[in-house]
Every structure is written in C-alpha cells, then in structure tokens.
Amino acid sequence: MFDKHALTLELTFKAIRSSGAGGQHVNKVSSKVELTFDINESLVFDDGQKERLLNKLKTKFTNEGTLVMQCDETRSQHKNKELVTKRFFELLESGLLVPKKRIPTKIPRSVVKKRLKNKRNVSDKKANRQKPDIE
C-alpha cells in the first residue's frame, strides 16, 4: 500500500508537557508527543492517494494539508511516540481503503412466487369479508 519506513522519515515529532493534574512529575517531564505530517510535501503518496486521503479525512487535516496528532496516555515519551505512530498508520490505512462495489443480488423466483401468493391470500381474505351479492 505504502512504504511505512519512508513515511516515518517524513513525520515530525515534538515532545511537550502533558496537561492536567499529576503533581511534581508532570511539571518537569515532557512526555506528551505531537506528530505532524504535511501531505502536500510527502513523496510517499501519489496525487490520487493524496486526494483520497484529503477527501476521506478532511476533518483530521488542517486547511494547509497538515495532520496533527497527539498522545499523552502514558508517562513514557517513547511509548507515547509508538502509540501515536501506530494510530497514524491505522488512520492512513483506513483513509486509503477503497470500498468494494456492491453487486446487487438477483431475487430468487421462489421468493417472488411466495410473495405474490401471500398477496393473493390477503386479497382473497379481504374479499371474503364483504357481504355476498345476491342479485
């Protein structure tokens, strides 16, 4: 699909301090990792793939075509970096996925006959509810 190693070289990582409560440790350690990826500068994808990604993931990309992802789940910067790159690749794989074209199935003849027979039975039942014509 695409070369993950070459794509990893195009990624930019930045370590920043995590937000929220955490005491003294959170104030001195930059464990949150921010991943940025500029799709317009990418050499891994061709124009068709870039267009597909921008269309399918337009809520994830900025107006300039930059994808920004963050992870601060663990206290380890390295684990956060692994998590955010894993999510990045999963996001791209889902964005590049081309859905299969649906082939409509043919309705079997027995099903059509059964439906028409049921309609005939309901019609006869309602016709039998009327008063007989004595003339």
CATH of residue 29's domain is 3.30.160.20
Report the predicted TM-score, pTM, of the whole model to 2 decimal places: 0.71
The pLDDT score that the predictor gives to residue 71 is 92
Distance of CA 112 to the CA centre of its chain: 38
Would you place residue 17 in the very low, low, confident or very high pLDDT band (cuts 50, 70, 90)?
Answer: confident
Whether 90 is covered by a domain: the verdict is yes
Whether 114 is covered by a domain: the verdict is no
Residue 25 pLDDT exceeds 80: no
Whether 43 is covered by a domain: the verdict is yes
What's the one-letter identity of residue 82?
Answer: E
Residue 3 pLDDT exceeds 90: no
Whether 125 is covered by a domain: the verdict is no
Residue 49's domain spans which residues? 4-96
Q: How many distinct structural domains can be found in the chain?
A: 1
| Residue 46 and residue 80 in contact, taking contact as beta carbons nearer than 8 Å | no
Whether 116 is covered by a domain: the verdict is no
Tell me which residue of 27, 13, 21, 28 sits closest to 80, measured CA to CA.
13
Residue 88 pLDDT exceeds 80: yes
| Residue 17 and residue 1 in contact, taking contact as beta carbons nearer than 8 Å | no
Vertex 29, ends 35 and 4: CA angle to 5°? 25
- Section 29-40 average pLDDT: 91
The pLDDT score that the predictor gives to residue 30 is 87
Whether 50 is covered by a domain: the verdict is yes
- Section 30-44 average pLDDT: 91
Q: What's the rounded Cα separation, in Å, for the pair 53 and 38?
A: 12
Whether 108 is covered by a domain: the verdict is no
